[in-house]
């Protein structure tokens, strides 16, 4: 396997007047737990959509495990799993039906799909709700069934857009456990988040994004540098330092009212 899971060159995307992604060059190492961090509106979702072939870039190329996403979709689509943010699932299927549907669309034999679906539902704590329609699932359950669908065909690279957003702590811990086991076997996880503490505790490699560009990338310690936390390093990188709210709002809080 190549040591580079994803290679992005000169990636651009513009929506009308707004430039969402302004020329990204990035090489993500294989077999790592990779975090794509940045504030809301930094272009994380747009980037992940283009990398996974769900959005056509204006310019640039993307390779996943050595295959071009737009030239060689057969090789790429079989090797990636995706959990997008803000897109629906086929919600009028039950959890199990959704997994069966997804697995069979990918050409897996029916008994194998059944076996894998049963195990995934068990591990992700969804066995009790497997016959409920996904439309009646909570946010955490939706993320978990989406993750199960993304993992079902055992992809080499898993792309997760905000997998922990709106997820309760118990579900988050379950998701985390599954992902850690998955990367330990040599697979690659790329996930986006704006919660620095989470990225710091999970990832061994991070790319920091702001305003459509990559501001820093490398191992966690490289990106963190001298700063005590990733949060501090990030604030320095995006230039949000010194905007201390201390001088304004001096009336707020205890004392004279």
Partner 1 sequence: MSAAAGAAPDARAASLTAVVVRLKLSLLGNGLRRSGGRRAAFVTSAVVALLFAVLQLLGLIALRGHAHIASAVVPGAAVLAVGWAVMPLFFPGGDETLDPTRLVMLPLRPRPLVRALLAASLVGVGPLFTVLLLAGCAVAVAHGAAAAAVSAVAVVLALLVCVALARAVAAANIRLLTSRKGRDLAVLSGLVVAVGTQLVNFGMQRLGTAGLGTLDPVAGVLRWVPPASAIGAVDSASRGAWGVAAAQLALSTAAVAALLATWSRTLTRLMTAPDASTLQDDGGAVRERAGRSGAARLLPAGRTGTVMERSLRYIWRDPKTKAAWTTSLAIGLIVPVFNALQGTGSPYFACFATGMLGIQMYNQFGQDTSAFWMVALTISSPRDAYVELRGRALALLLITLPYAVLVTVLTTGLLGRWPELPEVLGLSFALLGAMLAAGAWTSARFPYSIPQEGYKNVAPGQIGLAWISLFGGLIAAALLCSPVIALAVWANVSASGPRWTWLLLPAGAVHGAVLTLAGLRLSAPRTAARLPEILTAVSRS
For binding to partner 1 (CB under 8 A), which residues are involved? Answer: 52-56, 73-74, 76-78, 80, 82, 84, 86-94, 96-97, 100-102, 104-107, 110, 114, 131-133, 135-136, 149
Helix (H) or strand (E) holding 120: helix 110-123
Shortest distance, CB of residue 132 to partner 1, whole angstroms?
A: 5
Using alpha carbons, select from 142, 15, 150, 147 the residue that is nearest to residue 77. 150
Shortest distance, CB of residue 236 to partner 1, whole angstroms?
A: 36
Round to whole Å and give the CA distance between 115 and 120: 9
Shortest distance, CB of residue 87 to partner 1, whole angstroms?
A: 4
- Toward partner 1, which CB reaches closer, 133 or 211? 133
Tokens 């050595």 identify what position?
66
Shortest distance, CB of residue 159 to partner 1, whole angstroms?
A: 10
Shortest distance, CB of residue 224 to partner 1, whole angstroms?
A: 34
- Toward partner 1, which CB reaches closer, 71 or 241? 71
First-last CA distance in the chain:
65
Give me 28's structure tokens.
Answer: 């993500």
Shortest distance, CB of residue 227 to partner 1, whole angstroms?
A: 37
- Toward partner 1, which CB reaches closer, 69 or 210? 69
- Toward partner 1, which CB reaches closer, 91 or 236? 91
Distance of CA 59 to the CA centre of its chain: 22
Round to whole Å and give the CA distance between 39 and 225: 20
Round to whole Å and give the CA distance between 95 and 133: 6
Round to whole Å and give the CA distance between 151 and 255: 55
Would strands 80-83 and 157-161 be described as parallel, antiparallel, or unpaired?
Answer: parallel
- Toward partner 1, which CB reaches closer, 60 or 218? 60
- Toward partner 1, which CB reaches closer, 111 or 253? 111
């Amino acid at each position: 396997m190549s040591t580079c899971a994803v290679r992005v060159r000169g990636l651009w995307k513009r929506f009308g007047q707004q430039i969402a992604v302004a020329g990204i060059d990035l090489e993500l190492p294989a077999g790592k737990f990779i975090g794509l961090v940045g504030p809301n509106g930094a272009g994380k979702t747009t980037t992940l959509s283009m990398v996974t072939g769900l959005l056509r870039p204006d310019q640039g190329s993307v390779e996943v495990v050595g295959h071009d996403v737009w030239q060689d979709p057969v090789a790429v689509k079989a090797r990636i799993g995706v959990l997008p943010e803000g897109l629906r699932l086929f919600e009028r299927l039950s959890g199990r039906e959704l997994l069966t549907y997804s697995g069979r669309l990918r050409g897996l034999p029916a008994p194998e799909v059944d076996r894998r679906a049963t195990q995934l539902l068990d591990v992700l704590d969804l066995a009790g709700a497997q016959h409920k329609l996904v439309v009646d699932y909570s946010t955490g359950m939706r993320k978990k069934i989406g993750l199960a669908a993304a993992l079902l065909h055992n992809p080499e690279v898993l792309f997760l857009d905000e997998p922990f957003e709106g997820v309760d702590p118990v579900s988050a811990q379950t998701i985390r456990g599954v992902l850690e086991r998955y990367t330990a076997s040599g697979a690659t996880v790329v996930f986006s988040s704006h919660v620095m503490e989470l990225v710091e505790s999970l990832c061994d490699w991070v790319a920091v994004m702001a305003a459509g560009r990559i501001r820093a990338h490398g191992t966690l310690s490289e990106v963190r540098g001298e700063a005590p936390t990733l949060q501090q390093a990030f604030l320095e990188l995006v230039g949000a330092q010194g905007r201390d709210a201390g001088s304004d709002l001096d009336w707020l809080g205890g004392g004279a009212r």
